Amino acid sequence: MKTLLWFRNPYMGFMLFSVLIMGLPLVITNQYHLGVLVIIAIHSIIVLGLDLLMGYTGQISLGHASFFGLGAYITGVLSAHWQWPPLAGLAVSLPVVAVIAWLIGMPTLKLHGHYLAMATLGFGIIVFIIFNELGPLTGGPSGLTGIEPMNIFGMTFDSDLEWYFLSMIFLLAVLLLSINVVRSRVGRALRAIHGSEVASGVLGVNIARYKVGIFVLSAMYAALAGWLYAHYITFISPSSFTFMFSVKLVTMVVIGSLGSLWGAIFGAALLTSMPEFLYVFHNYETLVFGSILIVVMIFMPMGLLRGIEDLIAWSWHAARRRLSSDGGEELS
């Protein structure tokens, strides 16, 4: 499998990506477009965690929308009802979500098979019902209003440009943490578990512990994203955290490229911005997403990013072959 060179050294890729991100507002100045980019950054944070879980470790979660929702509602409720500052909301939501994920992961990840997918599916439905039914606290189906805008150490974030930088800094931080994890003893253990559970077991990898660990980490990423989302939109309702959104997050990972952090961001960016391009089809959004997923799975089972890389590599080699056969000379 050929990969383009700069993907080989992820830290180089990270630097280039950071420069690109920081320079992008010079080109994109439209408030609305910046807003879409903020949502892309927030989705990317969730999808990075989901890719660590699915792409690297081979475990499926169908409940990440609810971790996202819990992150948003915990800080939202504390802010709207008791005027807690956003950072205090984050300090509560991260450990709470971590403990919940641990409680779900512990019993299910010890078993062989995709029990995590089933457990998270059920969990997502329960959380959705709680958001709806806990009216006095969550505002019920009509949503929770009055969430304070973002305020970090006295700095307030109001404009879309400020939000662009805030969300991107969090995305870059999460990306850097993820690169570090992937390229470490922990990351190798996760990929080993995906490759062969028996082999990693006899080499001393505590399989259940690593699976639970990465599941908890990915849930915390989602909670962080939820925290950003709640203080960005300042209004949340249960309809943003449905089972369908969990499926959409999984789709972002699969379409982007399983087991590639860049692919995760690519998938999140593509599927988040697509409705903006395809607004004429908005009634058929699910249909369009489904079709894209099918086409990608048939023709590019490794995901779009890998698929495109392979296509470039293939056409490069094809062009070289044609050149060398036309000219009768071997190109070095």
Q: In this structure, what DSSP letter does residue 278 have?
A: T
Please tell me the count of residues contacting other proteins according to CB under 8 A: 29
Please report the DSSP string for 173-185 in residue order.
Answer: HHHHHHHHHHTSH
Q: Is the dihedral of CA 16, 19, 25, 26 positive or negative?
A: negative
Task: Give the residue with the Cβ less far from other proteins, 187 or 226.
Answer: 187
- Which residues, 249 to 308, sit near other proteins by CB under 8 A? 259
The CA-CA-CA angle for residues 315, 321, 326, to 5°, reads 125
The residue range among 42-50, 77-85, 177-185, 276-284 that interacts with other proteins, by the rule CB under 8 A, is 177-185
CB atoms within 10 A of CB 97: 26
Q: How far is the CB of 216 from other proteins (least distance, A)?
A: 9
Q: How far is the CB of 200 from other proteins (least distance, A)?
A: 7
Q: How far apart are CA 16 and CA 293, in angstroms?
A: 29
Structural tokens at position 134: 């806990």
The residue range among 67-75, 182-190, 279-287, 290-298 that interacts with other proteins, by the rule CB under 8 A, is 182-190
Sequence length of the chain is 332
C-beta separation of 264 from 48 below 8 A: yes
Structural tokens at position 17: 């990506």
Torsion angles phi and psi, residue 152, rounded to 5: -120, 115
What x/- string results for residues 194 through 233 when contact with other proteins is judged by CB under 8 A?
Answer: -xx-xxxxxxxxxx-----xx--x----------------
Q: Is 33 in the site for other proteins (CB under 8 A)?
A: no
Kindly tell me which residue out of 188, 274, 307, 310 binds other proteins, with binding defined by CB under 8 A. Answer: 188
In terms of Cβ atoms closer than 10 Å to its own Cβ (0-12, 13-18, 19+), residue 314 is: exposed
The CA-CA-CA angle for residues 233, 219, 287, to 5°, reads 65
Kindly tell me which residue out of 156, 180, 286, 324 binds other proteins, with binding defined by CB under 8 A. Answer: 180
What x/- string results for residues 241 through 260 when contact with other proteins is judged by CB under 8 A?
Answer: ------------------x-
Task: Give the residue with the Cβ less far from other proteins, 214 or 223.
Answer: 214
Q: How far is the CB of 188 from other proteins (least distance, A)?
A: 5
Task: Give the residue with the Cβ less far from other proteins, 94 or 233.
Answer: 94
Q: How far is the CB of 80 from other proteins (least distance, A)?
A: 32
Q: How far apart are CA 182 and CA 169, in angstroms?
A: 20
Q: Which residues bind other proteins (CB under 8 A)?
A: 1, 177-178, 180-181, 184-189, 191-192, 195-196, 198-207, 213-214, 217, 259
